[in-house]
Structure formats: structure tokens, C-alpha cells
Amino acid sequence: MSTQQPEPVGPLIQAFLNELKAANTKPATLTPDDLAYELKLNPKTVEEMLRTGTFHPYAFKAGRYWRISRHDFEKWLEEQHTTTTVDPYRLPPRSTRSQARLNQSARKTA
């Protein structure tokens, strides 16, 4: 009687299986602490963001506790990413200190 060993899987397939396993363990709704972890912010900051409506209309209160679904959180993140754009032709204004240094160096070379 021979016992067959399962065939080894490649690193890409193993990474995919690990990600799939991790995705199944993620909760469907996130708490403020989960949001703080995902956003790398202090939980108090996230609670303030919830109170001021930063996550509106995605966040909701279940009793006295804030919740947001993982899907809605990902949608909110995507919105933040697409709405925050930088105009490459408009440079930020120079600070007065750096402008003063530029003026000083221009006077020295003149």
C-alpha cells in the first residue's frame, strides 16, 4: 500500500492560497480599532473622524458602537485615492525662510 504525498505547489500558488485564507478570516464589519489599524492612526483620531462624518455615508452606528463594512471601507479608500490629485504644474508656495535664503544667495552672486 503506497501513500501518496501531495504535490508541492509553487510559491505563487502558495501565496495566493495564503491570501485567500487570510481574506476569509477578515471580519465583514470593522470597528474603530480595526480602522485605526488599517489606516495606521490613533484610535482616538478614528473616533473623531467617525463623529465628524469623514466616513459618511459608509459608517453606521450599531447601538452606541461605530461600524463600517469592509467593502464600504475599501470603497471609501478608493474614493480618497482618486479624489486626491496633485497638479504637477502648480508648485506649493515657498516658505518665507527658503525664499529669503534664495534672495540672499542671489545677492551674493550678483
Residue 98 has pLDDT above 60, yes or no: yes
What mean pLDDT is predicted for residues 25-50?
A: 88
User: pTM for this one?
Assistant: 0.51
What mean pLDDT is predicted for residues 58-79?
A: 89
What mean pLDDT is predicted for residues 38-54?
A: 91
**CA neighbor of 30 nearest in space, from 67, 56, 63:** 67
Average pLDDT over the chain, rounded to whole? 77
What mean pLDDT is predicted for residues 83-103?
A: 62
- Reading the block at residue 66, the C-alpha cell is 461605530
The CATH class of 25-84 is: alpha beta
pLDDT the model gives residue 25? 64
pLDDT the model gives residue 107? 73
pLDDT the model gives residue 90? 61
DSSP string computed for 14-42:
HHHHHHHHHHHHS-SEE-HHHHHHHHT--
Q: What is d(CA 99, CA 8) in angstroms, rounded to the nearest whole number?
A: 62
